[in-house]
Structure 1
């Protein structure tokens, strides 16, 4: 079997694994890894009100240290297929680029991980340590029956990981730009200000909630939440909706509603942030604004893998392959790394993400080869015998 990153990527791209469909992608990975000597499991997880999701866990070796590769084979829908230059599941190559849904997010990354691991094992069959794959089919969907449950399942089997590389597309412009060593958390809140509906010509008989809402929002936004840290930008609160549901211009509404989202750094937890928001609103409201605050549950906490030897292995491999040192970043949205970090340090590094989720998603074939080479260099360094 051809286990080059391009061949593996083309096989994966031809699998129509739109969330929550497995589409043959995990079956292909299973067949390739089993042939190389991996022990492979395919647990399916369920939750009322959500679709069943197939997942994959594989391990080669029994020793320590244990390096885990993580990712997802599910992809977002391709949209209107006629707008694509090539069929989104045909894995066509044109002008040195591989086209297909999931080319960069993130079947291409998984193909590179597999190519690197298979090559390393072929050249070092008796290495001391273990290499694993933790692959979900539920990252682009509800993220309920995927990584969280797969990690719990693995932990129940006694699996313990030392480090993890998540292959999400991390590079904004060119391969090697950026390593993600952390992510901001995400917390959403909803405010309702109570008033009394009535005719605008008789304001003394009403209680307009809009001025009160303005006071509360001004209180939230007056001062920054923080000024950032060495590795994180300042936490950011954005008001995303303000609504009174009032179609009439001569009626004072009964209530006003607002929603906000905070992307927060590791100075905060959801609990400490909720306390800060509550304090600011209480001060702004005084005794004159009647309101309620509801913070939505979140599993998106801020986390950081501090620069250390493991991060150094990855940065050194990138520099050796590309010629420049990557930026260590914590920018962007959330990812499954927020779940994995509870079990071991995790670093994200993958392909260039400029076309992810777009029509004509594609990856340069050369980038596939270079990413696989980077992962291979990481494996060489990680499992190098101690002097």
Structure 2
């Protein structure tokens, strides 16, 4: 069966829809039209309020019974930033390269999968696309709400592939089989504002915060595992509410992020930082936002079909990695085994984000091989 969706044409149409996170509307219209024309039943809903919403989600399903293969992705993008040579939402193809915000992360992968799915017979089991408009943000109304929707209807894929750009030097060289967890924290140390010439009438919070920072810098969280590197704490900002040179500030704040492996849990790390802050700067408070826990998909059928499809199409053996940032796999692992695999990621989030046209076509062929192996439609 010949695909009725050209992945590059669909990618261009998706990129042409400005969909800065959280996204909804036109970009979902474009994808829904392509999927509906190829036999998918498309479910869409918008939920949430600013600042984390409103967010649109989509579940598109075709077929019935086992096996059930799910593809997950996001149509939202990060803001384009300044310095583009062309309109970031007017995609151009030049010298075999497509440029536009979302070309790499990850509208091209969604288009590649839609093209592969359209080429598959419709009587081989269940195929679904789980598409959110809030992956680049806090995901408050994104993939966790898709999981709620699936659970309410007792729908559960057997395996899920997320089309994040995971390849490094060439398409197919890296699959993400797990991801580190991530937690952001803000430590607020109170003081009493005053004139620097009269320090006895003030209470400077900065030396107290400095003691907290020193204690955090001295931490050794763990040595890592066979699958994960050591957990890592990075201080990312220190601030006070006043910048005047002759004022002792009323408070001081440190911001930090911990990327952690599966030896740690987010809540435990928050309590650890709270204990250190209280010990070194009594009266301080810690605000935290856990983006997701670390997860690891154990070896199994999903590994086998993705690795063999890459091997057959590209002639290389992919590395199985847990490096890099988080993905919505941190949520979807609740349902079934999950891996991430997609385009080379060197230009993701950058000015001039782009993808090679041939890589998009090759990615669609790899996705089709995966589906053929899962559904036995060789």
Q: Which residue of 2 aligns with 1:38?
A: 40
Change (3 A) 1:48 1:207: closer
Are the aligned partners of 1:189 and 1:293 in contact in 2 as well (CA < 8 Å)?
no
Q: How does 1:199-348 map to 2 (within 5 A)?
A: 207-245=203-241, 247=243, 249=245, 252-281=248-277, 285=280, 289-348=281-340
Are the aligned partners of 1:2 and 1:8 in contact in 2 as well (CA < 8 Å)?
no
Change (3 A) 1:104 1:195: closer
Residue 38 of structure 1: CA displacement? 1.7
Q: Which residue of 2 aligns with 1:183?
A: 179
Q: Which residue of 1 aligns with 2:130?
A: 134
Question: SS in structure 1 opposite 2:183?
Answer: strand
Q: Which residue of 2 aligns with 1:360?
A: 352
* Distance across 2 between alignment mates of 1:6 and 1:90: 14
Q: How does 1:369-380 map to 2 (within 5 A)?
A: 369-380=361-372
* Distance across 2 between alignment mates of 1:201 and 1:159: 67
* Further displaced range: 68-77 or 270-279: 270-279
Q: TM-score, length-normalised on structure 1?
A: 0.87
Q: Which residue of 1 aligns with 2:13?
A: 11
Residue 355 of structure 1: CA displacement? 1.9
Change (3 A) 1:292 1:20: closer
Q: Which residue of 1 aligns with 2:118?
A: 118
Give a deviation string over 1:284-341, Cα, whole Å, max 9, x none.
53xxx42323131324221111232311221221122222222222222222222212
Larger radius of gyration: 1
Question: SS in structure 1 opposite 2:236?
Answer: strand
Q: Which residue of 1 aligns with 2:153?
A: 157
Are the aligned partners of 1:235 and 1:264 in contact in 2 as well (CA < 8 Å)?
yes
Change (3 A) 1:222 1:86: closer
Change (3 A) 1:98 1:208: closer
* Distance across 2 between alignment mates of 1:98 and 1:12: 12
Residue 67 of structure 1: CA displacement? 0.8
* Further displaced range: 47-56 or 338-347: 47-56
Q: Give the root-mean-square deviation of aligned CA atoms.
A: 2.6
Are the aligned partners of 1:337 and 1:346 in contact in 2 as well (CA < 8 Å)?
yes
Question: What stretches of structure 2 of length at least 5 have no aligned partner?
Answer: none
Are the aligned partners of 2:194 and 2:249 in contact in 1 as well (CA < 8 Å)?
yes
Q: How does 1:86-105 map to 2 (within 5 A)?
A: 86-105=86-105
Are the aligned partners of 1:191 and 1:291 in contact in 2 as well (CA < 8 Å)?
no
* Distance across 2 between alignment mates of 1:373 and 1:137: 25
Question: What stretches of structure 1 of length at least 5 have no aligned partner?
Answer: none
* Distance across 2 between alignment mates of 1:332 and 1:135: 21
Give a deviation string over 1:145-188, Cα, whole Å, max 9, x none.
32222221222122111111111111232211211112211212
Change (3 A) 1:275 1:17: closer
Change (3 A) 1:34 1:208: closer
Change (3 A) 1:75 1:211: closer
Q: TM-score, length-normalised on structure 2?
A: 0.89
* Distance across 2 between alignment mates of 1:8 and 1:224: 47
Q: How does 1:48-87 map to 2 (within 5 A)?
A: 50-80=52-82, 83-87=83-87
Give a deviation string over 1:111-170, Cα, whole Å, max 9, x none.
11111111122xxx432x211011122223442332222221222122111111111111
Change (3 A) 1:112 1:245: same
Question: SS in structure 2 opposite 1:105?
Answer: coil
Are the aligned partners of 1:15 and 1:23 in contact in 2 as well (CA < 8 Å)?
no
For this pair of structures, how many residues does the alignment match? Answer: 375
* Distance across 2 between alignment mates of 1:21 and 1:243: 32
Question: SS in structure 2 opposite 1:257?
Answer: strand
* Further displaced range: 248-257 or 140-149: 248-257
Residue 220 of structure 1: CA displacement? 1.8
Are the aligned partners of 1:112 and 1:369 in contact in 2 as well (CA < 8 Å)?
yes
